Structure 1
Amino acid sequence: MKKVFLLSLIGVFALVFTSCSDDDSVGVSNASESQIIGTWNLTALETRDGRSDTNFDGTSIPTTFTAVGKDFDTVIIFSEEPQTVTSEGSYTTVTTTTVMGETSTEEETGEDFFESNEWRLDGSILYFGSGEEEIGFTITELTDSQMSLRYELDETVDFSGFETSISATYNMTLSK
């Protein structure tokens, strides 16, 4: 049972960086590419209101989860021609999950938050990746020194033959 849950959780985080979504949340109205280009530091990362429900042989397995980042030492670089985003450094994610009344907390170190990806701006949505592997984050704040991004996940996926519905709100803050 724990193995199924862990596989589902891994799928959640993998999905965040590989799926395509149009986030309907309200974002800033005046975002410009010139404000995004440059070197940023990852200063906050969190997952709120995480829920998944996996159908395992006719049995529903509901799960709740949250994640909070810490120990940030990550630099993210938005380049201009071509429009690529890269990162280097590390951070730690503390994930708390509750499955069938049992709560567990795990810490995991992450490196290179973004591999070399394309980026583009469309209104208040900052897209990463390209084609079918593009994901859109709503820019909820953008100043000369801070950018806050949000991604609302609400998907149903087939993971290792099990149907899982997943929802969560991902927030990230970058500072110059």
Structure 2
Amino acid sequence: MPHNQIKKYPDLLEIMHYSEFQRKKSLRAIFDRDITDNDKFIFNKKIIRPTKIDGEIDLGTVFNHLISEDYFEKDENGKTVKSRVFEKDRAHRLHWLKPHIEVKIKDTVFHFSVMERDPKKRKDVPRTYLLNTTQKYVVVLEPQNSGLDYYLITAYYLNKKYGLKQMKKKMKNKLAKLL
């Protein structure tokens, strides 16, 4: 597990040969190193904080978003139920988050903000994207209401056919300044 601690961008983490417990332990160590224990987790001169659930910081939810994706299935009553399932492409790239935030990537990376609909909040909210078109990787931040800091929403590999196209469409609607 410690060999993943020395992996650097753009290498991928080696996790698929581990048991689920070992895999989560290895990934959590990287998450804690790069995010939880990183007091310089800053982008655009703003501190990045984990999202809050009911007013409480929930690092477990942020960690889960970084290594899993939404999965929809029908229950026995025919109702669609959403859950999160492990997603290897996200997990392999967990250590990519920090160099993107620190703007230490020499690939083609675009930073932009857009207004988009948040279905949970039922209103338009600003989102800031760090889009690496070379590696097809995206980091999503949400400016806090104060405008002083960011919330880390998620980061993922654009492994769907429509992923990069969808991001480029968002980029066409970017705001005049980075929030």
Q: TM-score, normalised by structure 1?
A: 0.28
Higher relative contact order (CA 8 A, sep 6+): 1
Higher strand share: 1
Higher helix share: 2
